[in-house]
Structure 1
Amino acid sequence: MIHITRRERFSAAHKLYRSDWSMDKNLEVFGKCSNPNWHGHNYELFVTVKGDINPETGFLIDLRVLKEIILVEVIDKLDHRNVNIDVDFMQGKMASTEVMAVEIFNILAPKIQEEGATLHSIKLCETENNFIEYFGK
């Protein structure tokens, strides 16, 4: 079995808040991330797939295909968007990096499976110091 990782980048705005909480409670729990005027990050997304090498092609997965799946299903929906408002797969969900990582995994896993590989993990870097890794359930 081999693992291959593809990196993509996107910029997006979000805020962490609960509409059923007061502004003070949101500030207490989420700090400056609850700013009513939003804030943004330059994210890095690492998508790692695993499987066996196809003896006919020498590939686990065609990286052009993997890139296209990631761009169409994730990056085009997130890049230069407001995660809380604009992103279909984040509607009604907390716009945390943790939730985004899980949702991205859930979107990509079946698409990658169709190409004969298995999604191993998602690593979503919010800052150079903070990142989430998700390996599925």
Structure 2
Amino acid sequence: MMQQFYPQVQHSYRFELNKDMHFSAAHFIPDEDAGKCQVMHGHTYHINVTIGGNELDPLGFLIDFKQLKDLIHKKYDHSVLNDHPEFQHRFPTTEILAETIWTTIQDVLRTRENRPVCLQVIVRETPTSYVIYRPRQEDLL
């Protein structure tokens, strides 16, 4: 497996967790300004999620890697992104997908007693194109 290195987000947390995952999905952007992307097409999306926190749970995790994978991979793998309810009113661009993944993860992290936070989500759509989503500080509260 090839090791990936990603842009780092500055933080002062004691622990930083990074999880890489990938899934295959199709999407389309139904607007003439989208050019070729108007037509349904697919990608193998490569995702990197960065979680930070100062406290571990009773098992010694910020959050279990498997839980992160289940939140994202199980939901989107081999699907049409446009068919998911979260994209009914917004086109599933790479930028919107990155923000949506962040929201999904952060919503779960807010329920954890140790209160980790999702610091960034990177979504690579092609070998040469990726988006980084970093929340505003107030979004982490």
String of CA shifts for 1:82-131, please: whole Å, max 9, x gaps.
1112x222222111010111111111102123332111111111011111
Larger radius of gyration: 1
Tell me, which stretches of 5 or more residues in structure 2 are unaligned?
A: 1-13, 137-141
Tell me, which stretches of 5 or more residues in structure 1 are unaligned?
A: 19-25
Query: Structure 2: how far apart are the matches of 1:17 and 1:32?
Result: 10
Is 1:34 paired with 2:31? no
Query: Structure 2: how far apart are the matches of 1:121 and 1:42?
Result: 20
Number of aligned positions between the proteins? 121
TM-score (norm 2): 0.76
String of CA shifts for 1:17-72, please: whole Å, max 9, x gaps.
23xxxxxxx1xx2121112xx10000011110001254976x4514xx2422441x
Which structure is higher in RCO with an 8 Å CA cutoff and minimum separation 6? 1
Give the letter for the 2:66 counterpart.
Answer: K
**1:114 alignment partner, SS class:** coil
Q: How does 1:1-137 map to 2 (within 5 A)?
A: 1-18=14-31, 26=32, 29-35=33-39, 38-52=40-54, 54=56, 59-62=60-63, 65-71=64-70, 73-85=71-83, 87-115=84-112, 116=114, 117-137=116-136
Greater helix fraction, Structure 1 or Structure 2: 1
TM-score (norm 1): 0.78
RMSD value, Cα: 2.0
